[in-house]
């Protein structure tokens, strides 16, 4: 990552890189995991700097793919096996209950604080 990135942006992007393939975190999840900022701040970081990380894994809480990048995001979700569902009108959405990642390593059942 560039030395010119703001420190908060670096931390957000590091979280995005940790999200396993096939899983997602919401903008609010990332902010909560970091213990600073909020969904809008995380969204701003992702909009400005997220192209270098798996941006499709940081999502809106409603499971709607990123407007303007739906096709690319859906390709990534299908390739990675991210759980999807269809709305009654046939639109694809993330199946958030199954796709959401809590920030712990897979198989880690502990309640350790994040670093």
> Which tens digit of pLDDT belongs to each residue from 71-104?
999 999 999 999 999 999 999 999 999 999 998 8
Pairing status of strand 84-86 against strand 92-94: antiparallel
DSSP state of 20: P
Q: Supply the pTM of this predicted model.
A: 0.85
Cβ-based neighbour number of residue 96 at 10 Å: 16
Query: By the 8 A CB rule, do 84 and 94 touch?
Result: yes
Instruction: Give the Cα separation of 23 and 54 in Å (integer).
Output: 11
- pLDDT average, residue stretch 23-33: 97
Grouping H, G, I as helix, E, B as strand and the rest as coil, residue 26 is strand
Q: What is the mean pLDDT of the chain?
A: 89
- Torsion on CA atoms 67, 73, 78, 83, rounded to nearest 10: -60
Query: By the 8 A CB rule, do 63 and 94 touch?
Result: yes
Q: What's residue 1's pLDDT? A: 46
β-bridge partners, 26: 59
> If residue 58 lies in a helix (H) or strand (E), which one and from where to where?
strand 58-59
């Amino acid at each position: 990552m560039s030395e010119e990135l703001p420190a908060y942006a670096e931390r957000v992007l590091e979280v995005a890189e940790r999200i396993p393939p096939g899983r997602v975190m919401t903008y609010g999840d990332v902010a909560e995991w970091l213990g600073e900022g909020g969904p809008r701040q995380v969204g701003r970081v992702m909009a400005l700097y997220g192209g270098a990380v798996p941006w499709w894994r940081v999502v809106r809480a409603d499971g709607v793919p990123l407007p303007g990048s739906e096709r690319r995001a859906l390709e990534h979700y299908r390739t990675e096996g991210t759980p999807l569902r269809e709305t009654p009108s046939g639109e694809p959405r993330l199946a958030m209950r199954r796709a959401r990642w809590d920030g712990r390593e897979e198989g880690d059942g502990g309640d350790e604080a994040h670093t």
